[in-house]
Amino acid sequence: MGTVAAHGLCKSFGKVQALDGVTLDVPDGSFFVVLGPSGAGKTTTLRAIAGLEKLDAGSVHLDGRDATGDAPAARDLAMVFQNYALYPRHTAYENIASPLRARRCSSSEIAAAVERMSSLLHIERLLQRRPAQLSGGEMQRVALARALVRHPRAFLMDEPLTNLDLKLRVEMRTELTRIHRSLGATFVYVTNDQVEALSMADHVAVLKEGKVQQVGTPTEVYERPANKWVAGFVGSPPISLLACHAEGDRLVGAQGWTLPRPRWTTAEDGRALLLGLRAEDLSVEQRRDASLSGELYGIEPLGDRTVVDVQVGTEILKVKARPTVTGTPGERLLVTVDLDRAHLFDADTGLSLSEAGR
Amino acid sequence: MAVSVDEAVSTGPTRERTPPTRRLGGRGRSVLEIALLTVLAVVMLFPVLWMIETSIKENRDVYAVPAQFFGFSVTIDHFKDVFVAPGGGRSDLSVAFLNSAVVAGVSTVLATVLGVPAAWAYSRFAVKAKKDQLFFILSTRFMPPVVVVIPIFLMYRQVGLIDSKLGLILIYTAFNAPFTIWMMKGFVDEVPAEYEDAAMLDGYTRLQAFWRHTLPLLVPGIAATAVFALIFSWNEFVFAIFLTSSDSVRTAPPAIAGLIGGTTTDWGLVAAASVVFALPVLVFAYLVRKHLIAGVTLGAVRR
C-alpha cells in the first residue's frame, strides 16, 4: 500500500497562516488521525497531501517519492469529504463507479467492484438513488464506497463522521476500524473529536494553529501530553491545571495548598509551574496521603459516572466519581490526588516537565 | 387565482410609506392605485398596441383622420412586404433580420464560450488582484456605446472591419463578455468546488472535472446569461448604424430606422417590421423571466 510523508508544510490564506511547518510521517498501513480544534489546519493539511492546495513551502512524499507538484489524479489517493461531495446528477452506483471510469475499467469490472463495495457497506438497495434521495448516513456510506472501491496508496478522510448523528457515528467508528483492518490500507483521518482519535487511531498527530503539537500513539498523547495545550484538549472532562511552584520537597499552590513534591520532577524551586490533574486521578471517595481541600461547586451526573466540580481557592478541579456520589454545594471536601499520574508543565512555555523523571 | 384586485395591488411597502394622517380609506386608496396603474398601463402599452394595429391595417386606414381604433380591414400585406421584395425574391429587411440573427447568435456564442471559463477561473482560482480585475472587466460596461463608437469607427476603418458582420460580432462579443463573466461567476460560486475536488481525486484532470461535474450544473445559468446577451446584441442600434452601411451587412435595428424618412414613409411596413423584430425578444424574455428577477437578487439567496 503506501506511506505518506509531509515535511514542513506551509500555507497561508491572505493574512491567516493555516499551516506553519506541519510535518507528518504516516507509516504504511496505519490508521493515522490528525486531531485538532476547528481552524487548526487539519483539512488544509489533508488537502495539501491530496494535491488540492498549492503549498507556500514544504514537500509531500508518497511511497518515498516526491509528489509535491503532482496533480491530484497522479497521486493515487482517495478522499472522503466532510460534506461527502457526491455528484448530484449521478446515481449512487455512478458515484461509486466514478474512480473506476476515470481509469477506463471495463463495465464488468466496475459492476463487480461496485457490488463488492455495496455489500461491504450494506448499501445494495440504494445504488439506483441519487444523492438527494439519500439520508446523511447513506450518503456517508456511498462516499466511503467511492473512496474504497479502488486500491489507492492511502485513504484521506476529512471528518467523515461529523455530519452523522451520535448513534450512527459510534456505529460507523467501529465499522471504519473493521474496514481498516480488513484492507490493511493506510488511512489519514482528520477529526476534531478526541473520542474518534483515541478509539480508532494507532497514531495521533495533535494540531493547533497550523503547528503539530505532538505525535504519538493515543495512549502516549493521553498519558504523556507534550504540553499543557495537548493535555487540555485531549481528555474529557478536561484536565484541571493548577498554578504552583516547587519549594524543597513540596509543591506550593498559588491558592495556598501544599502537596508532596512528586519524585519525578526536576523543576528547580520557585519556577512557575502548572500541575495537571486528570479527573480519574482525583477522588473525593478514597483516602490518600496527598490531598487538597476545597468546596463542592457542582455535580454533573453523566449516567455511568459523575463529575464533581471542586473549588480550590478560585480554581475548579474536575473529579471523577461513582454515579452514587451526592453532596450539597458549599460543603467542605477533601480531594485526594494520585501524584504518580499527575503532570507538571512550565507555566511560561507550557511544555511538559514530567518526561525526564519517568 | 382567488386574489381580488384589492389584495393584489395593496402591497406592504406602499402601506408603510403612506403617512398615517394622509392615508385615505382602504377602498379609496385602492381606487386611486387602480386608476394610476391603469394610466401607467395605457401609457406603456398604447405604443405597442398602435404598432400592432398599424401593422395589420391597410394603408388608407393607417393615414385615416380621425385615427381608426376599430373597424378597419385587416391585411397581412405589410408582413409579406417585410420578407418578400416587391419584384419577388428576398427583401432587404429579411436580409437585415438574417444578419441580426447571425450577428446576435455568433456574438452570444463567443461571449459564452469565453465568459463561462473565465467566470469559472475567477470563482475557483486564487487570481492575483482578482477584485481589481473583475472591477476592470465590469468598468468596460460603464460607458454607453455612443461614447466609444467614434474611436471604434476609426480603428475599424484602419483594420478593415467597417461594414462587416465580423466587426459587429467582435464588438458585441466585447460588450457581452464582461456581462457573461459577472453573471456566470455568480452561478459558478453557487456550485460547490468539492465536486471538482472529488473528481480530481477520482483520477480526472481539472478540466475534465469541470466538464463532467460543474458544467452540467451550470446549464440553466448559461441559458439565462446567453439570452440576456442575445437580447442585447439583437436590440443594439448605435454600433450597428455607425459601423455598417450596406444592405447586405446591416442588422434589423438600423434597417428598420432606415425605412423612416425620404419623401414618404410606409408606416405599415415599419410597424410590421417592428412587430417581427420585437417578437423574439418577447419570447426569450418570457423564457428567462424567473432569472430576470434572480439576476437582481443573485448572491443574496443561499441554499
Nearest CA in chain B to A102: B203
Contact B200 A73 (CB under 8 A): yes
Would you call B202 and A88 a contact, using CB atoms and an 8 Å cutoff?
A: no
The confidence score (pLDDT) of residue A286 equals 67
Task: Kindly state whether A16 is in contact with chain B, defined as any CB-CB distance less than 8 angstroms.
Answer: no
Query: What is the structure's pLDDT at B18?
Result: 46
Model confidence at B203, pLDDT cuts 50, 70, 90, reads: very high
Query: Mean pLDDT over residues A294-300, rounded?
Result: 90
Contact A89 B192 (CB under 8 A): no
Q: What is the DSSP string of A223-261?
A: HS-SBHHHHHHSSSSPPEEEEEEEETTEEEETTS-EEEP
List all residues 6 or more positions away from B283 whose beta carbon is below 8 Å from its beta carbon.
none
Out of A88, A89, A98, closest to residue B202 by CB = A98
Same domain, B61 and B194: no
Residue B25 pLDDT class (50, 70, 90 cuts)? low
Instruction: Return the sign of the alpha-carbon dihedral for residues B232, B234, B238, B244.
Output: positive
The size of the A-B interface in CB pairs under 8 A is 59
pLDDT confidence band for B292 (50 / 70 / 90): low
Kindly report the nearest CA distance between residue A208 and chain B, in angstroms. Answer: 24
Q: Taking all residues of chain A, what is their mean pLDDT, rounded to a whole number? A: 89
Indicate which of B128, B130, B201, B219 best probes the interface with A, i.e. most A CBs within 10 Å of its own CB. B201
Q: Which range scores top for mean pLDDT: A170-179, B103-112, B255-264?
A: B103-112
pLDDT digits (tens, 9 = 90+) for B87-127: 878 888 999 999 999 999 999 999 999 999 999 999 999 88
Instruction: List strands edge to edge, sheet with A250-253.
Output: A258-260, A250-253, A240-247, A273-277, A343-346
Out of B126, B204, B216, whose CB is closest to A102?
B204
**How close does chain B come to A102, measured CA to CA in Å?**
5
Query: H helices of B191-214, where?
Result: 194-202, 206-209
Residue whose C-alpha is closest to residue A180's, from A354, A31, A352 = A31
- Rounded to an integer, the average pLDDT of A168-195 is 90
pLDDT at A35 over 70: yes
What residues does A178 pair with on adjacent strands? none
Residues B191 and B103 in one domain: yes
The CA-atom distances, in angstroms, between A241 and each of A275, A278, B101, B114, B209 are 5, 9, 77, 61, 50
Asked if residue A137 has pLDDT above 90, the reply is no
Could you list the residue range(s) of the whole structural domain that residue B98 is in?
Answer: 92-297
Note which residues in 210-269 of chain A have CB less than 8 A from chain B: none
Query: Using a CB-CB distance cutoff of 8 angstroms, which residues of chain A are in contact with residue B205?
Result: 71, 73
Local confidence band at A324 (pLDDT 50, 70, 90 cut-offs): confident
Using the 3D structure, point to which of B13, B43, B75 is the last residue of a domain: B75
Asked if pLDDT for residue A288 goes beyond 70, the answer is no
- Tell me phi and psi for residue A165, to 5 degrees: -75, 165
Alpha-carbon span B60 to B49, nearest angstrom? 18
Q: In this structure, which long-range contacts are made by residues B7-12, counting pairs with CB atoms below 8 Å and at least 24 apart in sequence?
A: B9/B33, B9/B34, B9/B37
Q: What is the pLDDT of residues A77-87, one digit of tens each?
A: 999 998 899 99
Q: Does A73 touch chain B (CB under 8 A)?
A: yes
Task: Answer whether residue B83 is part of any domain.
Answer: no
> Do B140 and B274 fall into the same domain?
yes
Predicted pLDDT of residue B266: 86
In a domain, B68, yes or no: yes
Task: Name the residue with higher pLDDT: B8 or A41.
Answer: A41
Residue A62 has pLDDT above 50, yes or no: yes
The three cell numbers of residue B286 are 418570457
Residue B21 lies in a domain: no
For residue B80, pLDDT over 80 is answered with yes
A308 membership: H or E segment, kind and range: strand A306-312
Rounded distance between C-alpha atoms, residue B101 and residue A294, angstroms: 88
What is the structure's pLDDT at A79?
A: 94
Residue A34 above 90 pLDDT?
A: yes
Residue B249 in this model has a pLDDT that exceeds 60: yes
Q: B195 and A87 in contact by Cβ < 8 A? A: yes
Q: Would the pLDDT of B12 be above 70?
A: no
Could you report the per-residue pLDDT of A262-273, keeping only the tens digit for each?
877 777 788 888
Q: Chain B residue closest to A13 (CA)?
A: B126
Q: What is the predicted pLDDT for the residue at B26? A: 57
How many domains does the structure of chain B reveal? 2
**Same domain assignment for residues B30 and B132:** no
Q: Tell me, yes or no, whether B82 lies in a domain.
A: no
Whether residue B180 is found in the same domain as residue B151:
yes
Residue pointed to by grid coordinates 490500507: A185
In order of their start, the domains of chain A are 4-227 (3.40.50.300), 230-346 (2.40.50.140)
Q: Which pLDDT does position B142 carry in this prediction? A: 84
Query: B293 is written with which cell numbers?
Result: 428577477
**Is residue B301 predicted with pLDDT exceeding 50?**
no
pLDDT at B154: 95
pLDDT confidence of residue A325: 85
**Predicted local confidence at residue B291, as pLDDT:** 66
Q: Is the model's pLDDT at B258 over the cut of 50? A: yes
Does B302 map to a domain?
Answer: no
Query: Is there a single domain that holds both residue B64 and residue B196?
Result: no
In a domain, B149, yes or no: yes
Give the gap in angstroms from C-alpha A272 to the nearest C-alpha of chain B: 46
Instruction: Give the pLDDT of residue B169.
Output: 96
User: What average pLDDT does range A303-311 have in this prediction?
Assistant: 90
Tell whether the model's pLDDT for residue B193 goes beyond 50: yes
pLDDT reading at B21 higher than 70: no
B203 to A88: CB separation less than 8 angstroms, yes or no: no
Confidence check: pLDDT of A306 > 80: yes
Q: What confidence score (pLDDT) does residue B167 get? A: 94
Mean per-residue pLDDT, B129-137: 92
To the nearest whole number, what is the mean pLDDT of chain B?
A: 84
Question: Do residues B135 and B96 share a domain?
Answer: yes
Q: Is residue B185 part of a domain?
A: yes
Q: Do A98 and B192 touch (CB under 8 A)?
A: no
- The CA–CA distances, whole Å, from A17 to A40, A65, A208 equal 10, 27, 11
* pTM, rounded to two decimals: 0.79
| Inter-chain touch B195–A85, beta carbons under 8 Å | yes
Work out the average pLDDT over A196-214.
93
